[in-house]
Structure 1
Amino acid sequence: MPARADRPLTIFAAASTTPPMEEIARLYEEAGNGRVRLVFASSGLLARQIDNGAPADLFLSANLRWMEWLAERGRLAGDPVALLGNALVLIQPVDAFEKLTLDEGLVRRLGGAKLAMADPDHVPAGIYARQALESLGLWDGLQPAIVRMTDVRATLFLVERGEVAAGIVYASDVVANPRVRQADSFPAESHAPIVYPAAVLADGYHDHGRRFLEFLRSPDAAQVFRRHGFGLQ
């Protein structure tokens, strides 16, 4: 990539990483490394935008699938780095009357109410959720109740507002959130491992992308990620 133009370092990051990435970007800027522009959305949407030529320097995905998809298209400047881990949980509004659990009685206890989750066809959180529900034998019975959302943050927002009875999100989404409570957690073996890979992008500013990737792997960034409920790889 030629010498850097007068634009901020641009990071495309999975929606579920919004709180820690905003904090880490501030730390990076305060250390005198220049401006950072963060773009958050579902990993699938971001990957397609990158493939279509959107200007970005680094991609942080919520699963390996979309990173591999970009690699196959020659969109990465190097091998991805496994950066973060997470877990999948069932949540409810904090004032929900009856606690829901992940067992054969879930459909009955919902009683016609809705359950929000990210789109299982394209969004990592939804893909993991479908795998987990199928593994537990709950997927087919829950079909009438499921509301498909654009990403995990949209799912969380719906539960926060009490517009649905429950939602499936990452464990990190529940940390320090007073408007929702964790009702149950999915067994780790019920879905593929939740891994967040990061990679510098072929059409971005490689030196600046690599510098930010190294910062994401620093002790300061690790402390932020842990505080927001993420595991480190």
Structure 2
Amino acid sequence: MSSLKHFLRFTTASIVSLALSCSTSFAADKEKVTVFAAASLTNALNEIGQQYEKEHQTKVIFSFASSSTLAKQIANGAPADLFISANQEWMDYLIDAKAVNADSRITLLKNTLVLIAEKNSPLNEVTLNSDWDIKAAVNGSRLAVGDPDHVPAGQYAKQALENLNLWKTAEPLLARANNVRAALALVEQGEAPLGIVYSTDAKVAQKIKIVATFPASSYSPIEYPSALTQQQSTDCAKAFNQYLQGPSAKVVFEKYGFGVN
């Protein structure tokens, strides 16, 4: 017990020390923290960022998009301080490119995959198995997903549909979106009757409902790794990175439905 107390005191002292160092730097140089993060993190991170700014008087700037888009931007020199991906592969890509600090990499969050419909849809429940008639379900329209060629949510969706023996039928019916929030919007706006998104996206949407949850065994674990960029490991970036792993951020992440490691 004494060892645990010592560890907690040490960790808390480290966070406070970094925050004080960052505050001093911010006051002198107007330094900011720029975070590139997967689109599915928009609501949670915006709330955490506002909370952090009030507590630490440090400006936090977010850029949200598909993990693939952001990873390529960072690899090409975009000035990010921290990257949070919606899958491990795009973080691997940046580590191979030596564009992030591999030693700072952690798996921050987890998520799950769901099938959604517009809130007023007559469809209320779908049994996800090889007998599901996707063509009849979309009724001449499309199934909205993140583009499986590069968007993590779409890649997880493809895995799930393949494992349920549905991919061959589903592929020509896809409405391929640039990120998971764009796929969500297609269903919200009535452009597509069904979509595959993360459960956290469904949680924040007002105009949709969940009609099925994909079996966890049908796709790889949905994990969100984070890492400091190689070129921008400032005290402010380190302090915010630690804050994301702390209890205040955990409360917000869990509020939005994320699993926290």
Q: Which TM-score bucket, shorter chain as reference? A: over 0.9
Kindly provide the CA deviation profile for residues 84-113 of structure 1, in whole angstroms up to 9, marking residues without a partner as x.
000000000000012352232332332222
Which letter maps to 1:137? N
C-alpha deviations, 1:110-161, integer Å up to 9, x for none?
2222110001011110110000000000010112211100000000111111
Equivalent in the alignment of 2:123: 98
Residue in 1 that maps onto 2:4:
none
Cα distance in 2, alignment partners of residues 112 and 125 from structure 1: 23
What residue is the counterpart of 1:57 in the other structure?
A: 81
User: Which structure's residues are more often helix, by fraction?
Assistant: 2
1: CA distance between counterparts of 2:204 and 2:60?
A: 25
Among 15, 20, 23, the alignment partner of 2:47 is: 23
Q: Which one is further off, 137-146 or 149-158?
A: 137-146
Question: What amino acid is the match of 2:124?
Answer: K
Residue type of the alignment partner of 1:125: A
Greater radius of gyration (CA)? 2
Which amino acid in the other structure matches residue 106 of structure 1? D
Shift of 1:219: 0.8
Is residue 2:153 matched to residue 1:125?
yes
Counting only pairs closer than 5 Å after superposition, residues 65-144 of structure 1 correspond to structure 2 as 65-77=89-101, 78-99=103-124, 101=126, 102-103=128-129, 104-107=131-134, 108-144=136-172
* CA distance, structure 1, for counterparts of residue 112 and residue 149 of structure 2: 19
Deviations 1:35-81 (Å, cap 9, x if unpaired)? 01100000000000000000010001000000011001111123311
Residue of structure 2 aligned with 1:216, choices 230, 237, 244: 244
Q: For this pair of structures, how many residues does the alignment match?
A: 231
Equivalent-residue separation in structure 2 for 1:106 and 1:176 (angstroms): 28
> Cα deviations across residues 160-181 of structure 1 (Å, max 9, x unaligned)?
1111010000000111422000
> Within 1, Cα distance between the matches of 2:225 and 2:141?
35
Rounded to whole Å, the distance in 1 between the matches of 2:115 and 2:133 is 11
Question: In 2, distance between residues paired with 1:90 and 1:23?
Answer: 26
- What code does the residue aligned with 1:211 have? A
**Counterparts of 1:10 and 1:126 in 2: how far apart (Å)?**
26
Residue 123 of structure 2 contacts residue 211 of structure 2 at CA under 8 Å; is this kept in 1?
no
CA contact (8 A) 1:200 1:206 kept: no
Q: Does 1:189 align with 2:217?
A: yes
- In the alignment, the residues of structure 1 paired with residue 221 and residue 247 of structure 2 have an alpha-carbon distance, to the nearest angstrom, of 24
Match of 2:255 in 1: 227
Query: Percent of aligned positions with the same letter in both sequences?
Result: 42
SS at match of 2:109: strand
SS of the counterpart of 1:31? helix
TM-score, normalised to structure 1, is 0.95
Q: 1:166 aligns with which of 194, 199, 221?
A: 194
Distance in 1 separating the partners of 2:221 and 2:104: 19
TM-score in terms of structure 2 length: 0.85
After TM superposition, list the pairs within 5 Å mapping 1:198-209 onto structure 2. 198-209=226-237
Structure 1: 5+ residue stretches without partners: none
Q: Which residue of the partner structure matches residue 18 of structure 2? A: none
Over 3 Å off, 4+ runs: 3-7
Residue 32 of structure 2 contacts residue 236 of structure 2 at CA under 8 Å; is this kept in 1? Answer: no
**Structure 2 unaligned residues grouped into runs of 5+:** 1-24
Quote the Cα distance in structure 2 between the aligned partners of 1:203 and 1:106: 50
Residue aligning to 1:150? 178
Answer with 67-76 or 17-26: which moved more. 67-76
